[in-house]
Structure 1
Amino acid sequence: MTAPEVAGEVLLRARRRLSRAISRASDSPQSTYVSDADLRRSLGEQSLAGVAFRICNSLEPHLTQGLADLETTVTTVKEFFPEAVAASRLEAEAILDHRITLFSHEYELGSRIDWHRDPQANLQWPLLHFTHVPLVMGRGADVRVVWELNRLHHFVTLGRAYSLTNDERYAEEFLLQLASWYEDNPPRFGVNWMIGMEVAIRAVNIIAALEMFRGSPNMTDEAIELILKMLISHGRFIRDNLEFSYRGASNHYLSDLIGLFVIGITMPELREASGWVSYSARRLLKEMDRQVLADGVDYEGSIGYHRFVVELFALFFSISQANGLEIPGRYWGRMEAMFDFVRYYLKPDGTAPIVGDSDDGRLLKFKARPADDHSYLMSVAAVLIEKETFKQSSRIDEEALWWFGLRGREAFESLAISEQPPSSRAFRESQIFIQRSANPEVPLYAIIDCGDHGLRGHGSHAHSDALSIEVFALNRTFLRDPGTCVYTASERKRNLFRSTGYHNTVRIDSEEISQTREGELFAFIQNVRPQVNLWESTAERDVLDAEHQAYERLAQPVTHRRVITLDKREGHWTIQDFFTGEGRHRFEFFFNFDVGLEVTLDPANHATARDASAALIIIPASDHKLDAKIEARWVSPAYGLRLNSSAIIYSLTAKVPLAVSFQLLASKGE
């Protein structure tokens, strides 16, 4: 940080402490609701009836173009996805019964939903002023689960079902749950007002649901009044509690800004609306310069959070486009680069790899998808950027219809299907490298993480995974990153899943590549940024040569250099690990496998991981004898979910310099 930034951060924190102290002293659960008089002042010369008429009669402005002409969008969705009607009804019926899916698990929440309770740990957060609410409650309780419920994504699920079926029970349930939430969550009190990000995402989902239910006879002036009061309190809270930092703003601050922007754009009658729009629009572009690297990758060092940030900026760009707000061309270029990173990192089966944390965070969920399915972003990109590069199939994804409506369908159909599949690619600023073979008969894919801890070294969502590789071959993932599992529910699990041993790299002397400090769940002690020596990609092979100096801190320092070569002609990888420095050390080479694989070792210490259709064989080579063992592992394909898997660990104790290599061969099953 520069001297002015340090001074600015000190002043910012002092002002924040003062503001929160004043809020604590003056707030009470009864006094923080938006009153009738306050609503009238906010509306000014506009009447509540007039605002309700605009909303219910589908007059501009709207959250998305697909929601603007809802009737045409619904017709198109039914035409392209006739199965969506029955699927949406099943989801909505579960919500009527208060069976709500959070991440990968369906919870029965009882006759009256407790909006402050973690349903998995059965532990309730206290209704305290937001400045006093604890983040960690213990007993395995996870605030992220509570927040996921209170982002109210299931309101959009109900709205989709209502739009496709016109079943008034869904509109009634939406309003009943909305009133329940309003009553149980006085502004600035409780776990659901702890941070602006959660407030902002909730506001966007309330507005999306309102758009989908606006034609219901249940959407009375009284219902609109309740929603307006909620949105005013949400907007004011966000504006007063922006999660900006000179040290390193993140997706939290971006969420704050998109929340303000969406409330301001869609509710222009509010007194604060124009100020919220102008404030947030300028800063969203400024943060795009800061948080999105030149190669299009979000600077937090996480593919899961890259997807989330893509959704934030895509909504900002699409709303701006629909409302005539000009965005300079260079930002459109950065938006295209963000989508292009998605296009390259998607595996041949359309799923996303995991690099760094992933809490499955989304802005809008118009359709339920597995956590690793980012493929819908290609349809969104094709329409928003209007480029055939992103058109991966002849059928538009359902999400793009809710985003863009008939115009989106027409734009998508006017594009030719891309005949240029993604190739190997170096994302040099983020230092993420993707290797691919062009042979459709033997699709090979690897992604290698040579990035630092994110936030330009300050860290937040990175793992202890320098030079780690994820491998996909013959239509399935073999070597993989373990995922996240949990954040605050368990420090032990949190650190286990981001540990070196859970990634496909090398550990020396049982020391983590990136050291943790007790109680710090989103940072490491010191940044690690590998040095890339060579990236070469030809028709015959891809070669990545990189090294890191994290183990220079040892009493007898060591540098780890790794060369990963994909031989595209022969269809195999070679991983060469070189160690230089001083002394004698213990080296452990980790190969962590996906779920559903049978992992074996033969007498020659050749490892095989196989399912019914394919296998990956790992053949070690060294001048020294390598020990090998199979060890139990966990994989977390979705937040909060753990599945059994296995790892092969090769190890030896030797002096440096040392060279060890492995050949990875993919073969079809018998």
Structure 2
Amino acid sequence: MENVLFERPHRQHFYGLPLSPPRLRRAVDEATRAALLREAGEILQGRWRFFTFADAPSDPTPGGLTDWHRCEVTGLYADPDACGPASSSHDPEVQGRLRTIWEKSRHHHTTVLAIAYALTGEDRYATGAAARIADWILANPPQRGVNWLSGAEAGLRLMAWAWCYELLRAHPQWGVWFGPDSPLWPSVHRHQEFLEEQTRPGASGGASLLAALAGQYVASVTWPVFSGSPGWQREAKAALTREATLQLLESGVNRELSFGHHVWATELLLLPALLGERCGDAFHPAYLARLARAIRVIDRLRGPGDLLPRYGDSDEALAVQFEPRGAPRVDWLLRVGRDWLGVPVPEPQGGRLGATLLLGDDRVPLRYEPEAFEASFAYPDAGLYVLGSGQGTPREVRVLTAVGALGSTALGDHGHADALHFTLSVGPQEVVVDPGTSAYHADAQWRRYFRSTAAHNTVEVDLQDQSTQAGAFLWAHRVGAIAQLWEPREEGGRLVASHDGYERLLGAPVHQRELDLSGRLLSVTDHIGGRGRHHLRLHLHLHPDCEVQPESPDAWRVSWPGGALRVRFDGRLRVRCDQGETDPASGTTPLGWYSPRYGARQASPSLRATLTATLPVTLHTTLEVL
């Protein structure tokens, strides 16, 4: 290995660092500081707070040690010595849940320990972080085991290590941990070589590619110590610039049409660009403009009470963990977008810790009025339409509908069969909901359900999905959807759209839906054209907070703490409400389930209205907020 330099050129800076503990403490509110230190204490005990452990951390481990190949959910182990195809099995019955194993090896928890040290100066946090990096390197030789399968995982790991490297600089043992004999250097070098292989032209796109490229760029700037470093930095920057255009539509919406991946991709595009500015390698203004639009999209789609959309897949991926688990997901991102790029968004309540680490504590926040926008708006290039009324009031109604396809990637891997599906919230309360993701590989049956048409608030024909699933991330047939009419109004609006997903069936059914929001009344008109006799099911999935009571054969009252609405169906429909069941029509698939976070699911009320009839058929449904 080449002679290693341990200092970057003087003109280069690592985001907002250095920050002494007193300076960092002054920029962070006490509640955030206490939550992060509490999480850091749990990490030192070997306890986790992600996915199914969000509400109650996992059990401690002896000495707080991390088993990098154990799935804490199932107790199963992935073979740490497997190579090549032998290590790539996604069978959770064999090796546990791969995504859970990977979350540990992304080293977000190690970054939390390093931030805790930066906040307090306490030795236990610094030594805990350094020990975990060294232990991972020892337990994960290059190209062995599941933690060397993905370029995205390698990229995220390098970004976490870079933050630990910088945050621990003030510690007296820093030179020992990261000096000439440190195991960090050969591992970083192998990571960079691995990323070079994983990001060659033609590599599969999506946010996972951005994670690999972001890690490659950040590592090359943080450690410009190898002969390949200048080339890796240059190539990663060029690829990120290209991917920003390929992965973000002109509106700024992520092409994967998954809100979770939109947030993750925005973080992954922001972090290299901000570091590039700090080290004299600024990204092109067009890149920054598209990034700013992506941040603006997050703010506009965020509903009252900081409700975030749930369309498409989400596995709660983070680029880097700057805030305690459970903190508002997008606040630091919006704050940095506002104070660095001048994105006209309201100042978030949280996110100060992350923004301070990224921008420093001497930056004067921009002072201006956020850009006003209408309650009803659309991103037609993404097929996303929002109908809103009562903006700014406690009973603000917001309806979000998806008219787009499954995403623009070749596989549509993170899309769901949800064309013409809609969600409805009243103030900060989700009422008619997107089911979420549950998990990727934990159970094929659950994966199929949470992606299915039956799990979404739309019309299902002959118990078939609009798009045909061919695997956990594959589709054999993909729906095409189009909006024919869009009329936003001051207190609501009207949308008419259709999709061709069922034209493959006998009689070539076509589903057209009209959504008309007027104040607190949403009218839904479904027209199913075509020929022949078909079985139709209209699904309305409700938040677990909701209680449902029948008022008549065609009217149901949905209530939640602080509010209620009435759903009235077409009189020809047979309506029932169930939750957490096995679908009686199929006898095998689930129905009436909600995933509050990745890796978790719970029963939720589901209204199901059915009709077997000869097409064409028009059905009318109303939802009135009381």
TM range (shorter): over 0.9
Give the aligned partner of residue 20 of structure 1: none
Kindly tell me: are residues 286 and 608 of structure 1, through their superposed partners in 2, closer, same or farther at Cα, counting changes over 3 Å?
same
1:232-290 deviations in Å (ceiling 9; x for gaps): 121111112227537x5221211111111011111122222111110110111111111
Query: 1: distance between equivalents of 2:256 and 2:286?
Result: 21
Query: 1: distance between equivalents of 2:451 and 2:350?
Result: 38
Structure 2's unaligned 5+ residue stretches are: 581-591
Q: Are 2:605 and 1:646 aligned? A: yes
Kindly tell me: are residues 440 and 391 of structure 1, through their superposed partners in 2, closer, same or farther at Cα, counting changes over 3 Å?
closer
Give 1:105-504 correspondences, 5 Å limit.
105=53, 106-108=57-59, 110-111=61-62, 112-126=65-79, 127-139=81-93, 141-224=96-179, 225-242=182-199, 245=202, 249-370=205-326, 373-387=329-343, 389-393=344-348, 397-408=352-363, 410=364, 412=365, 414-418=366-370, 420=372, 423-441=375-393, 442-456=395-409, 458-504=411-457
1:372 to partner: Cα distance: 7.5
SS in 2 for 1:555: coil
627-636 or 539-548: bigger deviation: 627-636
1:167 to partner: Cα distance: 1.0
Query: 2: distance between equivalents of 1:582 and 1:63?
Result: 64
Give the aligned partner of residue 555 of structure 1: 506
398-407 or 156-165: bigger deviation: 398-407
Given that 1:434 and 1:445 are in contact with CA atoms closer than 8 Å, whether structure 2 keeps it comes out as yes
1:222 to partner: Cα distance: 4.4
1:640-663 deviations in Å (ceiling 9; x for gaps): 011221100011111122111111
1:328 to partner: Cα distance: 2.7
Q: Are 2:497 and 1:546 aligned? A: yes
Give the aligned partner of residue 521 of structure 1: 472
Given that 1:244 and 1:253 are in contact with CA atoms closer than 8 Å, whether structure 2 keeps it comes out as no
Query: 2: distance between equivalents of 1:281 and 1:567?
Result: 47
Give the aligned partner of residue 601 of structure 1: 550
Query: 2: distance between equivalents of 1:662 and 1:535?
Result: 19
Give the aligned partner of residue 82 of structure 1: 30
Given that 1:394 and 1:417 are in contact with CA atoms closer than 8 Å, whether structure 2 keeps it comes out as no
Give the aligned partner of residue 536 of structure 1: 487
Given that 2:411 and 2:473 are in contact with CA atoms closer than 8 Å, whether structure 1 keeps it comes out as no
Aligned AA for 1:206?
W
SS in 2 for 1:550: coil
Q: Are 2:26 and 1:71 aligned? A: no
* Aligned sequence identity (%): 25
Given that 2:111 and 2:129 are in contact with CA atoms closer than 8 Å, whether structure 1 keeps it comes out as no
TM-score for the superposition, normalised by structure 2: 0.92
1:127-177 deviations in Å (ceiling 9; x for gaps): 112443133234282100000011010011111211111110111111222
1:110-142 deviations in Å (ceiling 9; x for gaps): 223211111211111111124431332342821
1:593 to partner: Cα distance: 0.8
Query: 2: distance between equivalents of 1:392 and 1:287?
Result: 29
480-489 or 450-459: bigger deviation: 450-459
1:60 to partner: Cα distance: 5.6
625-634 or 311-320: bigger deviation: 625-634
Given that 2:211 and 2:268 are in contact with CA atoms closer than 8 Å, whether structure 1 keeps it comes out as yes
SS in 1 for 2:435: coil
Give the aligned partner of residue 505 of structure 1: 458
Specify which structure has the higher proportion of helix: 1
Give the aligned partner of residue 564 of structure 2: 615
Kindly tell me: are residues 149 and 428 of structure 1, through their superposed partners in 2, closer, same or farther at Cα, counting changes over 3 Å?
same
Given that 1:467 and 1:562 are in contact with CA atoms closer than 8 Å, whether structure 2 keeps it comes out as yes
1:578 to partner: Cα distance: 0.7
613-622 or 141-150: bigger deviation: 613-622
Query: 1: distance between equivalents of 2:351 and 2:473?
Result: 37
Query: 2: distance between equivalents of 1:110 and 1:394?
Result: 35
392-401 or 300-309: bigger deviation: 392-401
Given that 2:404 and 2:482 are in contact with CA atoms closer than 8 Å, whether structure 1 keeps it comes out as no
1:20-55 deviations in Å (ceiling 9; x for gaps): xxxxxxxxxxxxxxxxxx2xx253xx4xxxx1xx37
Kindly tell me: are residues 618 and 154 of structure 1, through their superposed partners in 2, closer, same or farther at Cα, counting changes over 3 Å?
same
Given that 1:457 and 1:527 are in contact with CA atoms closer than 8 Å, whether structure 2 keeps it comes out as no
Aligned AA for 1:533?
Q
1:416 to partner: Cα distance: 2.1
Given that 1:371 and 1:637 are in contact with CA atoms closer than 8 Å, whether structure 2 keeps it comes out as no
Kindly tell me: are residues 323 and 249 of structure 1, through their superposed partners in 2, closer, same or farther at Cα, counting changes over 3 Å?
same
Kindly tell me: are residues 470 and 370 of structure 1, through their superposed partners in 2, closer, same or farther at Cα, counting changes over 3 Å?
farther
Q: Are 2:48 and 1:96 aligned? A: no
311-320 or 374-383: bigger deviation: 374-383
Given that 2:158 and 2:188 are in contact with CA atoms closer than 8 Å, whether structure 1 keeps it comes out as yes
Given that 1:346 and 1:374 are in contact with CA atoms closer than 8 Å, whether structure 2 keeps it comes out as no
Aligned AA for 1:578?
H
1:291 to partner: Cα distance: 1.2
1:438 to partner: Cα distance: 4.2
1:595-645 deviations in Å (ceiling 9; x for gaps): 2211222223312221221112211135x3433333432211211011221
Q: Are 2:515 and 1:567 aligned? A: no
Count of residue correspondences: 605
Kindly tell me: are residues 243 and 471 of structure 1, through their superposed partners in 2, closer, same or farther at Cα, counting changes over 3 Å?
farther
Query: 1: distance between equivalents of 2:66 and 2:410?
Result: 41
Q: Are 2:607 and 1:656 aligned? A: no
1:395 to partner: Cα distance: 6.9
Aligned AA for 1:133?
S
Given that 1:96 and 1:173 are in contact with CA atoms closer than 8 Å, whether structure 2 keeps it comes out as yes
Query: 2: distance between equivalents of 1:436 and 1:635?
Result: 24
Kindly tell me: are residues 394 and 157 of structure 1, through their superposed partners in 2, closer, same or farther at Cα, counting changes over 3 Å?
closer
Given that 1:353 and 1:372 are in contact with CA atoms closer than 8 Å, whether structure 2 keeps it comes out as no
Kindly tell me: are residues 448 and 654 of structure 1, through their superposed partners in 2, closer, same or farther at Cα, counting changes over 3 Å?
same
- Root-mean-square deviation over aligned CA pairs: 2.1
Kindly tell me: are residues 337 and 506 of structure 1, through their superposed partners in 2, closer, same or farther at Cα, counting changes over 3 Å?
same
Kindly tell me: are residues 437 and 532 of structure 1, through their superposed partners in 2, closer, same or farther at Cα, counting changes over 3 Å?
same
Q: Are 2:575 and 1:627 aligned? A: yes
Aligned AA for 2:198?
N
Query: 2: distance between equivalents of 1:396 and 1:375?
Result: 5
Aligned AA for 2:88?
P
Query: 2: distance between equivalents of 1:258 and 1:649?
Result: 45
Aligned AA for 2:484?
N
Query: 2: distance between equivalents of 1:614 and 1:42?
Result: 67
SS in 1 for 2:479: coil
1:329 to partner: Cα distance: 2.5
Query: 2: distance between equivalents of 1:200 and 1:395?
Result: 27
Query: 2: distance between equivalents of 1:475 and 1:102?
Result: 24
Aligned AA for 2:115?
R
Kindly tell me: are residues 42 and 544 of structure 1, through their superposed partners in 2, closer, same or farther at Cα, counting changes over 3 Å?
farther
Aligned AA for 1:500?
T
Query: 2: distance between equivalents of 1:76 and 1:226?
Result: 30
Aligned AA for 1:340?
R
Aligned AA for 2:534?
H
Query: 2: distance between equivalents of 1:291 and 1:643?
Result: 33
1:509 to partner: Cα distance: 0.9
TM-score for the superposition, normalised by structure 1: 0.86
